[in-house]
Amino acid sequence: MSETTAESRDPPTEVRVLHVDDDPGIAELTASFLTRFDDAFSVYTSTDPEAALERIEGERIDCVVSDYEMPGMDGLELLERVREFDRDVPFILFTGRGSEEIASQAISAGVTDYLQKETGTEQYAVLANRIENAVEQTRSQRALAESQRRLSRFIDQSPLGTIEYDESFTIVRVNEAATEITGYDAAELVGGTWLPIVPEEARRHVAAVERQLLADRGGYHSVNDIVRKDGERRLCSWHNQVVTGEDGDVISIFSQFEDITEEEKRRRELERTNILRSTLFETLPVGVLAEDADRDVLRVNERFLELFGIPAEPEDVIGDDCEAFAARVSDLFVDPDGFVSRIDELIEGGEPVWNDELVLEDGRAFERNYRPIELPDGGGHLWVYYDVTEREERERRLEALNETARELMAAETCEEVAEIGVDAAKTIIGLDANVVNLYREGEGLVPVAATETARDLVGELPTFAAGEGIAWRVFESGEAKSIDDVQSDPDVYNPETPIRSEMYVPLGEYGILIAGSPTRDAFDDEDVVLSEILGINIVTALEQVQRNERIRERERELTRQNARLEEFASVVSHDLRNPLNVASGRLDLAREECDSEQLEYVADAHDRMGELIDDLLTLARERDTDIEPTPIALDSFVRACWRNVDTGDAEFTLDVEGAISADETQLRQLFENLLRNAVEHGGDAVRVGTLEDADGFYVEDDGPGIPPDKRGDVFEYGYSTTQGGTGFGLSIAKQCVEAHGWEIRVTDGAEGGARFEITGVDIGDAE
């Protein structure tokens, strides 16, 4: 493939590969095979490292594949030049000159992967897989870094003090506002707990809040003192929230707080400043009622009467009996009897109470503060009522978005995710006219889900091609945008549209959420924040849909492979065994007619063919066989396997005890193949024992061993170092190991021979 220029915008799924090799034939051949293995690959080739560097600097390259030996600049020198301006792009050294020295230098230099050129086409499938894995990992790391960057920016710029804890309530991060409020440096808080900033008498309460947060996986609001580093006490309002993953596990715990000391001081000063005569009483934005010791109304402001819907002027209710007054308005509350009894309880307690919650029948939510007051003629009571309906509504929306996240994660298609997102934007955030456009290669941002209101306003929903409209501009920028008057924006898509204000929320590389309104200034900051939260949930769901689709495709491919394997097993079992049986029978007849040593060679060949057929059947039919674990005592089981193998005069030592849970058939196949391999390739002694850390067992011999550079080949199909070996024994052994979820490796034996270690095995006591 020849060098070309980058498009104005590449599809999100495209993988741009630059292959640098001084041999143009190799470069073109590699490009052809890579694009054949995965049509998402766009492969660009270069025989000149300097030209390749110019290309990498000038456009997006997702992965660099380079030869080692090239005139003017070798592969590692090219890597060093690339890393000067791009430290993240995957770099794979694909070279015909392979050695441990070069591999060591490549790893030290920071190559992403190292692959030696070989004969045959299988190497290109391996290379394609390595490229795909490297690019996917790099993209995931960049996406994670971007997500963490946004979260860090949000926390760092928050005017509220923010402390982030892990699941053990160890502090992992604090922002600047938190250090200003507490007086501690970040380094003094990170790694510790909340103990330094909580007064001693409040620690039991905070510990109880900690337990409640972990138990409920929810949020908690409180107002309590902190102790600054200099010993000063400050009153703070705290909002604590546990963040959990899809599985319910705790990811982080956030505590946001603000210093309300001065605010509280001003409030108390206000109460002390002759509240009954102050003109401020009437202008307070909260409902205030003062009563004397006999519970007669001394003063009430208009806001109080508005909150309870009482058709009177403040002066008209002065002197009224507050008990009768409370009973009259109690019907407004969900629990009328509880409303009255709670008032009596607070008065009897005689202590100030803050943020006492109330719920009205009409859905509004109140909070009530109470404190006893001193009057010239005795005591009295001061009641302050706040309408917190909007705050409660915000919390309800956040909880509803959390529930929507679960529904989104259950969606099976991108279209279903979009439909759920559109419905949530309407019912939770209140975006009556909204649409989700998903990016599709070759088309642009295509509308896939919308509310009826959006369709009524706009008519036929547009598809935004590359560079078109405000939608594409925001999609490329990746930043949410609220536009008060779209008519004044130079990128307006349709100047005749009835839409006046719009909000755009990018959905990563997948598309965009658009909300519109026929009025100007329809969207506020809260709409944007909630929509961004919804957008994050939609992106996460779309990512999962694509992952699931890839998994389903792999499952379908495995099903096709299994069908081919079963067909192969049938051919081996029937079409090969029958001719072999005929040949063996004819051989017996030939022996009766003549006595020739040549016939013995024929018999040996028949035996080898039978062994090959047996091993091929084992590989084909047991490849994906479900295992049925049963308890197996190792000592007696291994001895039985040894007796089943033609061991000749080899000495056998058994040093295993305990029991494991395994499939008996496959475990027997594993031991017999390893023991047979030890006898055929080893010396005079075979040992089976338990690993020192009790993590598994081993089979070793005292033979010549296996060179380190060949140990990776011994498990390959058909690999054998002895004359007459089938080359499938160790492949079958590895298959049995992997079926149980264990691992197998080759190392040196105690006597210098080969040692096969099987790890990840749970060995218990034998019954």
CATH number at residue 642: 3.30.565.10
* CA proximity to 533, closest of 415, 365, 449, 408: 408
> Which residues neighbour 16 within 8 Å (Cβ) at sequence distance 6 or greater?
6, 10, 42, 44, 59, 60, 61, 62, 63
Residue whose entry in the numeric block shows the structure tokens 């019954």: 767
Based on the fold, state whether residues 447 and 523 are members of the same structural domain.
Answer: yes
> Which residues neighbour 609 within 8 Å (Cβ) at sequence distance 6 or greater?
576, 580
Distances (CA, A) of 246 to 218, 250, 398, 409, 540: 14, 10, 16, 8, 11
Based on the fold, state whether residues 145 and 163 are members of the same structural domain.
Answer: no
Distances (CA, A) of 90 to 114, 118, 134, 137, 296: 11, 22, 6, 9, 79
Residue 729 is assigned to a structural domain of this protein: yes
Last residue of a domain, one of 322, 342, 375: 375
Exposure of 667 by Cβ count < 10 A (0-12 exposed, 13-18 middle, 19+ buried)? buried
Q: Tell me what pLDDT residue 7 has.
A: 38
At 262-297, the pLDDT tens digits run: 888 877 765 655 555 555 466 677 888 888 888 888
Q: Which tokens sit at 30?
A: 């590699």
Tell me how many degrees the CA angle 286-290-292 measures, rounded to the nearest 5: 170
Q: What distance in Å separates the CA atoms of residue 22 and residue 48, rounded to the nearest whole number?
A: 7
Q: What distance in Å separates the CA atoms of residue 422 and residue 457, rounded to the nearest whole number?
A: 16
- Indicate the DSSP class of residue 478: T
Q: 516 in helix, strand or coil?
A: strand
Based on the fold, state whether residues 412 and 544 are members of the same structural domain.
Answer: yes
Rounded to the nearest 10°, the torsion over CA 54, 57, 63, 65 is 20
Q: What distance in Å separates the CA atoms of residue 113 and residue 102, rounded to the nearest whole number?
A: 12
Residue 353 is assigned to a structural domain of this protein: yes
In 410-524, which ranges are continuous DSSP H helix?
414-427, 452-458, 469-477
* CA proximity to 21, closest of 67, 78, 75, 81: 67
Q: What distance in Å separates the CA atoms of residue 439 and residue 447, rounded to the nearest whole number?
A: 9
Q: Which tokens sit at 724?
A: 């007459």
Q: What distance in Å separates the CA atoms of residue 712 and residue 716, rounded to the nearest whole number?
A: 8
Q: Which long-range contacts (CB under 8 A, 24 or more apart) does 761-764 make?
A: 761/660, 761/695, 761/696, 761/697, 762/660, 762/661, 763/634, 763/658, 763/659, 763/660, 763/690, 763/694, 763/695, 763/696, 763/697, 764/658, 764/659, 764/660
Q: What distance in Å separates the CA atoms of residue 169 and residue 99, rounded to the nearest whole number?
A: 50
Q: Tell me what pLDDT residue 153 has.
A: 67
> Which residues neighbour 582 within 8 Å (Cβ) at sequence distance 6 or greater?
none
Residue 270 is assigned to a structural domain of this protein: no
**Strand-pair partners of 257:** 161, 238
**Strand-pair partners of 764:** 659
Q: Which tokens sit at 609?
A: 């063919």
Tell me how many degrees the CA angle 429-424-547 measures, rounded to the nearest 5: 130
Residue 529 is assigned to a structural domain of this protein: yes
Q: Where in the sequence is the domain holding 444, given as residue range(s)?
A: 393-549
Residue 383 is assigned to a structural domain of this protein: no
Q: Residue 47's domain is classified under what CATH number?
A: 3.40.50.2300
Residue 613 is assigned to a structural domain of this protein: no
Q: Tell me what pLDDT residue 463 has.
A: 93
Q: Are 93 and 75 in contact (CB under 8 A)?
A: yes
Q: What distance in Å separates the CA atoms of residue 675 and residue 700, rounded to the nearest whole number?
A: 9
Residue 250 is assigned to a structural domain of this protein: yes
Q: Are 315 and 305 in contact (CB under 8 A)?
A: no
Judging by DSSP bridges, how do beta strands 63-66 and 91-95 pair with one another?
parallel
> Which residues neighbour 519 within 8 Å (Cβ) at sequence distance 6 or greater?
500, 501
* CA proximity to 569, closest of 561, 558, 580: 561
* CA proximity to 755, closest of 693, 695, 711, 692: 711
Residue 559 is assigned to a structural domain of this protein: no
Based on the fold, state whether residues 162 and 148 are members of the same structural domain.
Answer: no
Based on the fold, state whether residues 468 and 507 are members of the same structural domain.
Answer: yes
Q: Which tokens sit at 623?
A: 């490849």
Based on the fold, state whether residues 163 and 142 are members of the same structural domain.
Answer: no
Q: Residue 362's domain is classified under what CATH number?
A: 3.30.450.20
Task: Work out the number of other CB atoms within 10 angstroms of the CB of residue 750.
Answer: 11
Q: Residue 442's domain is classified under what CATH number?
A: 3.30.450.40
Per-residue exposure over 185-214, b if at least 16 CB sit within 10 Å of its own CB, e if not: eeeebeeeebeebbeeeeeeebeebbeebe
Structural domains in the chain (count): 5
Q: Tell me what pLDDT residue 437 has.
A: 94
Residue 460 CA, chain-centre distance (Å), reads 37
At 59-114, the pLDDT tens digits run: 889 999 998 888 888 888 898 888 888 888 899 988 876 667 777 787 777 888 88
At 589-611, the pLDDT tens digits run: 777 788 887 777 677 666 656 66
Based on the fold, state whether residues 356 and 402 are members of the same structural domain.
Answer: no
Q: What distance in Å separates the CA atoms of residue 406 and residue 397, rounded to the nearest whole number?
A: 15
- Indicate the DSSP class of residue 627: P
Q: Tell me what pLDDT residue 448 has.
A: 93
Based on the fold, state whether residues 178 and 115 are members of the same structural domain.
Answer: no
Q: What distance in Å separates the CA atoms of residue 493 and residue 241, rounded to the nearest whole number?
A: 41
Last residue of a domain, one of 153, 168, 193: 153
**pTM of the entire structure?**
0.39
Based on the fold, state whether residues 125 and 34 are members of the same structural domain.
Answer: yes
Based on the fold, state whether residues 213 and 142 are members of the same structural domain.
Answer: no
Residues of the chain with pLDDT under 70: 1-12, 97-99, 144-145, 147-148, 150-154, 269-283, 558, 561-578, 580-582, 601, 604-626, 682-683, 717-729, 766-767
Last residue of a domain, one of 507, 524, 549: 549
Q: Tell me what pLDDT residue 608 has.
A: 57
Based on the fold, state whether residues 134 and 186 are members of the same structural domain.
Answer: no
Residue 721 CA, chain-centre distance (Å), reads 45
Based on the fold, state whether residues 236 and 115 are members of the same structural domain.
Answer: no
